[in-house]
Amino acid sequence: MLIKTVRNSTPKWGKNCFFAENATLIGDVVFGDDCSVWYQAVVRGDVNKITIGNRTNIQDGAVIHATYQKAATSIGNDVSIGHNAIVHGCTLQDKVLVGMGSIIMDHCVVEPYSIIAAGSVVPQNTIVTSGSVYAGVPAKKIKEIGPALREGEIERIAKNYLMYASWFSTDQP
């Protein structure tokens, strides 16, 4: 993995984190415990702070970034960020699922137990209300999340990524 200090900030992380060999962590980035950053994912805290809670997974090819002097990025606990997603200068609260290839722009807030469907673009300043599925370009609310989606998707994927990470060595860096 590439760990790079920028502007006197070096990435920090808690216990039992897995970082793929070609994951990139840069600058002012702080992870909680039991997180994973998968192959070719980039968490780039060079221009603003990125804070990530516990048990969050950032899947292959995803990019986490922020906007200089305007929009930091905050990601909560038990969040799954799908393959090739872009999370930029926004807040993802706890128990959020970001679908593959989605883009979430500056100053958005995604409240708990929400899903951003694969391929969606969430425009700047959007508030995704708790318990919602947002889809499309631009993303709009398409339905409420019931227990089946909450347990069968949001919670299942977050738990599965804890298991997947356990298959790899956790004595990192």
Task: Judge whether 43 lies within some domain.
Answer: yes
List phi, psi (to 5°) of 33.
-90, 155
How many structural domains compose the chain?
1
CA 57 – CA 55 distance, rounded (Å):
7
Task: Judge whether 173 lies within some domain.
Answer: no
Count of CB atoms within 10 A of residue 157's CB? 16
What is the pLDDT averaged over residues 155-161? 97
Residue type, 61: G
Task: Judge whether 71 lies within some domain.
Answer: yes
Task: Judge whether 32 lies within some domain.
Answer: yes
For 34-71, write each residue's pLDDT tens digit.
999 999 999 999 999 999 999 999 999 999 999 999 99
What is the pLDDT averaged over residues 134-157? 95
* Statement: residue 172 has pLDDT above 60: no
Task: Judge whether 171 lies within some domain.
Answer: no
- Which residue range forms the structural domain that includes residue 53? 2-166
Predicted local distance difference test score (pLDDT) of residue 171: 53
Residue that wins the pLDDT comparison between 171 and 123: 123
Task: Judge whether 56 lies within some domain.
Answer: yes
In the chain, pLDDT over 90 holds for what percent of residues? 94
Kindly report the pTM of this predicted structure.
Answer: 0.96
Give the CATH number, domain containing residue 7.
Answer: 2.160.10.10
91-92 and 109-110 beta bridge pairing: parallel
Task: Judge whether 51 lies within some domain.
Answer: yes
DSSP for 27-70 reads EEEEE-SS-EE-TT-EEEEEEEEEEE-SS-EE-TT-EEE-BTTT
E strands in 78-164: 80-81, 86-88, 91-92, 96-98, 103-104, 109-110, 114-116, 121-122, 127-128, 132-135, 140-144
DSSP for 65-81 reads E-BTTTB-EEE-SS-EE
What is the distance in angstroms between the CA of the first residue and the CA of the last residue of the chain?
Answer: 8
- For the chain, the average pLDDT equals 96
Q: How far is CA 122 from CA 17, 58, 139, in A?
A: 29, 18, 5
What is the per-residue burial (b if ≥16 Cβ within 10 Å, else e) of 158-172? Answer: beebbeebeeeeeee
